[in-house]
Amino acid sequence: MIHQLNFQKKAIYDSLEVGITIETILRLGDIETICEAKVDTGSDICIFKREIGEYLEIDIELGYKKRLSTLAGGLSAFGHSLELETLGLKFETFVYFAEDYALDRNLLGRQGWLQLVKIGLDDYKNEIYISPQDEEIY
């Protein structure tokens, strides 16, 4: 049996970057910033560098605190609601900012991003396909 998925958008990601890296816009009120984030299907959440939250003038410690585990040990992070934009799709969502400054990569994980989209990957060609979840394809 053949299964077919249709997507609204296709983008090419940079093969020179570490991981599958896409431009990501974070916006809170009038402030926005464009950073890079790695698509990480193994991550339960979306997490960004603390400095990015500070740039958005978020009081990091007022967020929803979570202790997280990683392959390299544990870390604490604080969750905040904001607007996130990836590959031309905009979401009102919930992401975490690391408590420490040491986190050096931003990750787009399941809750807050992957569960809101449907994605297809052709890593050989550096292609990513994306649609919002449950959205009709035009």
Partner 1 sequence: MTLTIELTPEIESRLEAEAKRNGMSKTDLAKNVIEERFAPKEKRQNHIPEGVKPRYVGKAKTRDFSGDREWLAENRNEYIGQHVALHGKHLIANGESYKEVATKAREAGFKDALIVFVEDPNAPPFVEFIS
We find the least distance from the C-beta atom of residue 1 to partner 1, in angstroms, to be 27
Binding track over 35-54 against partner 1, x by CB under 8 A: xx-x-x-xxxx-x-x-xx-x
What is the full DSSP assignment across 71-135?
TTEEEEEEEEEEEEEETTEEEEEEEEEESSTT----EE-TBTTGGGEEEEEETTTTEEEEEETTP
When asked if residue 89 is in the footprint of partner 1 (CB under 8 A), the reply is yes
Q: H/E element holding 138?
A: none
Binding track over 90-129 against partner 1, x by CB under 8 A: xxxxx-x-------xx-x-x-xx--xxx------------
Q: H/E element holding 30?
A: none
By beta-carbon proximity to partner 1, the closer residue of 1 and 71 is: 71
By beta-carbon proximity to partner 1, the closer residue of 31 and 122 is: 31
What does the buried/exposed string (b/e) look like for 75-109 if buried means 16 or more CB atoms within 10 Å of the residue's CB?
A: bebbbbebebebbebebebbbbbbbeeebeebbbb
When asked if residue 25 is in the footprint of partner 1 (CB under 8 A), the reply is yes
> What are φ and ψ of residue 62, in 5° steps?
-80, -5
What are the residues binding partner 1 (CB under 8 A)?
8, 14, 16-19, 23, 25, 32-36, 38, 40, 42-45, 47, 49, 51-52, 54-55, 64, 66-71, 75, 79, 81, 83, 85, 87-94, 96, 104-105, 107, 109, 111-112, 115-117, 132-133, 135
